[in-house]
Structure 1
Amino acid sequence: MNVLIEWIYKSKKGVQTVFKSEELPAEQALLIAEDLERTGRTKQILFTDQFDSSWTIKELRGYLKGIETEPHNITVYFDGGFDWDTKLAGLGCVLYYNQNGKSYRLRKNVRATYLSSNNEAEYAALLLCLQELETLGAHHLPIEVKGDSRVVINHLSEQWPVIEEELYSWANKVEEKMESLGFQPRYELISRKKNSEADRLATQALTGVEITATIERT
């Protein structure tokens, strides 16, 4: 979860002003806020998350302590590919997350035979990511969702209406899974270059190379 820090600064002569930080990971923001508090010149410190909810230092400290042993700070990358000649689809999923004070990357791909278009493959890849998060035990957290599919990102962020019946069904599946897991997604359309890991996994799945791997990041 990323937050903004807002604090009231009071000078030695009693002059006060309000400062606001850039968006920071909650763990970093808490460290900075605790340092500001030690100066003795901050009258009030509040954090604001992406949903405009406000947190005190005590509340944010308690929240971070509560999720420490669970997957958190989750970023999802997804990509789907479809071969019109073979009617096969490749689904690529990359998850970055923290747990127990460590950082991890999970990569997974799947070859699918039940899809009929590239857009369906993109949705199916995102659903695969959510299923993997469910297996990890992640729930009730804000997550970052990044992909290069304009259709999926713009549909789910409600920038575009979903007109095609088959895609409407896929959008519902994704949204229902998000809701059942208690995720608060923030969608971001990225370039194909920035989505290269998920793209490579989808391509490998199409060629019959299936991968499931988790590594600790240093």
Structure 2
Amino acid sequence: MNERLTKMRFRIEWKHKLKNNEKVPCNSDWISGETAIQMGEELETSGKVSDMYFYDENGTSWILKEMKKLLTEIEDDPHDVTVYFDGGFQKETYQAGLGAVIFFKQGKKKYRIRANDLFNEMESNNEAEYAAFYYSLNILEDLGVKHIPCEFKGDAQGLLKQLEGEWPCYEEVLNRWLDRIEEKIKTLDLKPTFTVISRKENKEADRLATQALEGKEIFSKMLIL
């Protein structure tokens, strides 16, 4: 019952009552949650509808009253989430700097979180990228982000292609990180999309990772006007 209406698509199924009391099965195309509620209200007002149910893409069903309640409840939850992540590696100390920039909406407001962390006992820059991705998932978990689509953007092409299932991963250490990442995504029930971007486009997350290696700890939440 926590699926987000603003991003999911729904199909309405109902029975249309004719004058002779015959009931004709009807259904809509896939539409947004808000449109589904509006359409459901208009159908209900007509007085010619019975057995009306709303189905999401996972096959879960709701009645109109439940849909309205759900839409009200989710207004205060984080949504429209976009995550930028990056990892930096210092070979001399085997430390990794992890950077994450997270944009999301809550109610009618938009926020940005900038955060970093220092991680010890890393083996490579590649591993730092995986750790940074996992770090961003932990921030989402702390925010209470669950059951929604999220877009992850980074310049770690190998990692993102592996998460999409397009590229194999042959390194045991990185495979362990992949398992942790995929398990966390499953636990949070996220619907992820992965976008490869250039280093220039990812400069804010990169800067945060560098600052972590410099000993500058950052965590800020800003309202974006």
Q: What range describes the TM-score normalised by the shorter chain of this pair?
A: 0.7 to 0.9
Asked which structure has the greater CA Rg, the reply is: 2
1:34-113 equivalences under 5 Å are 64-113=71-120
Q: What RMSD, in angstroms, separates the aligned Cα atoms of the two structures?
A: 3.1
In the alignment, the residues of structure 2 paired with residue 104 and residue 150 of structure 1 have an alpha-carbon distance, to the nearest angstrom, of 27
In the alignment, the residues of structure 1 paired with residue 71 and residue 108 of structure 2 have an alpha-carbon distance, to the nearest angstrom, of 11
TM-score by length of 1: 0.74
TM-score by length of 2: 0.72
Which of 126, 129, 133 lines up with 1:126 in the alignment? 133
Residue 88 of structure 1 aligns to which amino acid in structure 2? Q
Contact preservation (8 Å) 1:30, 1:60: no
In the alignment, the residues of structure 1 paired with residue 196 and residue 67 of structure 2 have an alpha-carbon distance, to the nearest angstrom, of 29
Contact preservation (8 Å) 1:78, 1:92: yes
Q: CA deviation at 1:86?
A: 2.4
- For residues 78-106 of structure 1, the C-alpha deviation after alignment (integer angstroms, 9 at most, x for no partner) is 00011112221100011111112211101
Consecutive unaligned residues of structure 2, counting only runs of 5 or more, are 1-5, 11-31, 43-55
Which of 155, 161, 175 lines up with 2:182 in the alignment? 175
- Equivalent pairs: percent with the same residue? 43
Which of 185, 205, 209 lines up with 1:202 in the alignment? 209
SS in 1 for 2:216: coil
Consecutive unaligned residues of structure 1, counting only runs of 5 or more, are 6-25, 39-48
In the alignment, the residues of structure 1 paired with residue 159 and residue 205 of structure 2 have an alpha-carbon distance, to the nearest angstrom, of 15
Runs of 4+ in 1 over 2 A off after TM superposition: 1-5, 58-66
**Aligned pairs, number:** 191
Residue 180 of structure 2 aligns to which amino acid in structure 1? K
